[in-house]
Amino acid sequence: MTDYNNKDQSFSAVRLVIFLWNKKKILLSVSIVAAIAAAIFSGPFFIPPKFKSQVILFPSSTNSISKALLNDNQGYKQDLLQFGEEEDAEQLLQILNSSKIRDRIIQKYNLMKHYDIDKDGKYKRTMLNKEYASNITYRRTENMAVEITVMDIDPDTAALIANDISALLDSVKIKMQKDRALRGYQIVKNEYESLQNSIRIKEDSMTRLRELGIQDYETQSEMINRQMAIEIAKNANSNAVKALEKKMDILAKYGGPYVSLRDALEHDKKQLSEVREKYDKAKIDYEEELPQTFIVDRAYPAEKKSYPVRWLIVVVATLGTFLITAFSLVVIDGIKKETQKQA
């Protein structure tokens, strides 16, 4: 039974080949017409050729300049020259797909006009974004690089847009970081200036206390008590004892504030040293900048078009027409035979 089925299938395949061979003139004629039509309609008159330009870059793993250059941790020093990883590449792709870059490119190159979109159309923005997305694409390569690809009817424009996007990517990311760094810098700056002002007030108060004769409360108190004991032993009513008592009264009155101010001033100066370090780093992060990408290849005007691929269009159109025609002939022949049987 199995052999019979195999023979029947083989016979059917042979009959199909014979049938198509008998229809070779029709198939050949239709295929040639399809090939000629595909070659004509894929020409520059019907499909404007487009040229491709690409920029390939690696993300940088450096986010904080101060940590990269001033931190004692050796790992951060290596960070300055280190390529970013998958997460960094994904962040760049997110920025590339943002409206911050798209809108600036659209405005700079007047893409509404360049893409021949009616500026008064109802869905002009939707059409513009769709055209933009079809001509400008981004992807992460297997080596964690980011590839910017621009297709355009003008090879020079394609190269200019690709290079501008890579430059905008760098500047947009830096601006985003600087906006945050500015806020951090302002916070640390306010704290730093507040501490400086507090120290200045305390030092002024200490100066006034020193003018009253309080230089070192603990040492002076000990020395005056010792001297008073000596003078009292000699003569309790002497002028020296009265002078020492006067000094002791001053110490008693201002000694407490002196000690409090001295300890508070010492604490503030220690804290100021720590805040100063943060202030210097925050200032560097805000005022200085480093490139956020490593450019591997810049875009240049292409010499040959990349779209459309005419030979591929002709092959696909010819093969598709041949298969559709063959299927149609088989179906028509089957219908005819079935109709004849029923008649």
Q: What is the pLDDT, as a whole number, of residue 262?
A: 82
Q: What is the pLDDT, as a whole number, of residue 160?
A: 95
Q: Which residues pair with 140 in a beta bridge?
A: 146
- Tens-place pLDDT, residues 22-43: 888 888 888 888 888 888 877 7
Q: What is the pLDDT, as a whole number, of residue 253?
A: 73
Q: What is the pLDDT, as a whole number, of residue 232?
A: 66
Nearest to 155 by CA among 335, 304, 338, 318: 304
Question: How is residue 122 written in tokens?
Answer: 């109802």
Instruction: Give rounded-to-5 percent helix, strand, coil for the chain.
Output: 70, 10, 20
Helix (H) or strand (E) holding 295: strand 293-297
Low-confidence ranges of the chain (pLDDT < 50): 1-11, 74-77
Q: How far apart are CA 147 and CA 166, in angstroms?
A: 10
What string of DSSP letters covers 80-134? Answer: TTPBP-HHHHHHHHHHHTSHHHHHHHHHHTTHHHHTT--TT-TTHHHHHHHHHHH
Q: What angle do CA 216, 218, 222 make, to 5 degrees?
A: 115
